[in-house]
Chains A and B, each alone.
Chain A
């Protein structure tokens, strides 16, 4: 266990030291995967079939905010879908507009989840995301995971129907439109997954906030089992028993990944090196504020025998810490 903690500390130190590079590189890797997926599977527009286009776009988007990168990726997909017909591209763009109108007006921070969700769906471990977002954010953020899932299933359906779409001539524009819309409206499996993901997310969120020992671990396990059961039963009810082995394997791997994620993130208040500039009457200040690195993971102790008293004590401690301008954790 000690070596694990050591590795954790090293990783955290590394990330904090190289904060300036880690984020763009991580973004680049994620975007590159997404672009290559599109390039390999959805290259319907011959003029865009050039490996340098996804490469350049991935590099460029790595330094842009994630929300904007997701929009650019969306346009890249739309342009590729144009090769199948204006109608297919139109439906995809409408999906993007709906996503913006109904969700991204409120929260623009979760662009990475919209990209990550189809990528993980493609790899076969999308079951990680509802649990991981339940652990770290509020259920509202899961909406972006769901939107990514809708986009994935739409593209998957388009891919499955590519022959019909390519075969239908201009005279059958309505057929193309019909096929494209059908991928979203009548895709029962997609709605099943969406329901399972949302429900799992809420369950994980509720459990991990309970004041019980090992709340996070219980949340992950419960989330994993509930998710698997909903999808499994749903698949059987829908009469689509294919891919059950992949589902079970994917779920197990996802839960494992979530435990790793929990180990790395739990009780880690993500702080980064801040570079700020300001001035007062006498000086200009160029400050680099470096967060104190956590050396050993702190155990979470939950005392429930007298909650109000414990809360009051904690408040007093925090008050003192604020007055002294020190970390409240140092008082314990």
Chain B
């Protein structure tokens, strides 16, 4: 009699455990299945895909004196001479999200030109030093500034090895909705996160393509079939200040 009862209890417990286990397993696996499903555009209410790592590869051999990427960024994000802002600030004080850097090898005299912007480091010094956590890295590798909690201390600017960040020295009006630039806060290249989330490519890369320079490749560094990964595998790509081992999201060829 007592054995029957205990058997019944064992059976019901087993059933319960089986059902509970299946449910829990499904709960764990399902989001993963969702997240790995390739989606062109990310709906605003969905989290960032942690499987991806967005990156840009720049081939300096194809990059000449043109500055289409810089102009495109200015127009897209509303900074610099393309917009009637920052008139009070001196040139040293005006923000630059992306700039063309001219390089001349001191021993060989070889000259090259490349665009330099936030390198979207995996272990970003700006993120480490930010006292409030306003400097942060998205799960897909894009480094951003949360304008709501940036106190304007500029410690990130002190820490950045690429001088990629700018402080806003005056009141700014007519901002783009996706680039809420504001006096007293720090800003930098967002890798056009608003476009990337819509399944588009950053404005600089698009401009480079449009003019047939094709010096810039944008894509998912974690996807071995992406053009950027294949280009990197075939021809390699270097990091600026590789000695710091920051694992940058922006890579260069020919430096």
Q: Do A and B bind each other?
A: no
- Measured CB to CB, the residues of B under 8 A from A are none
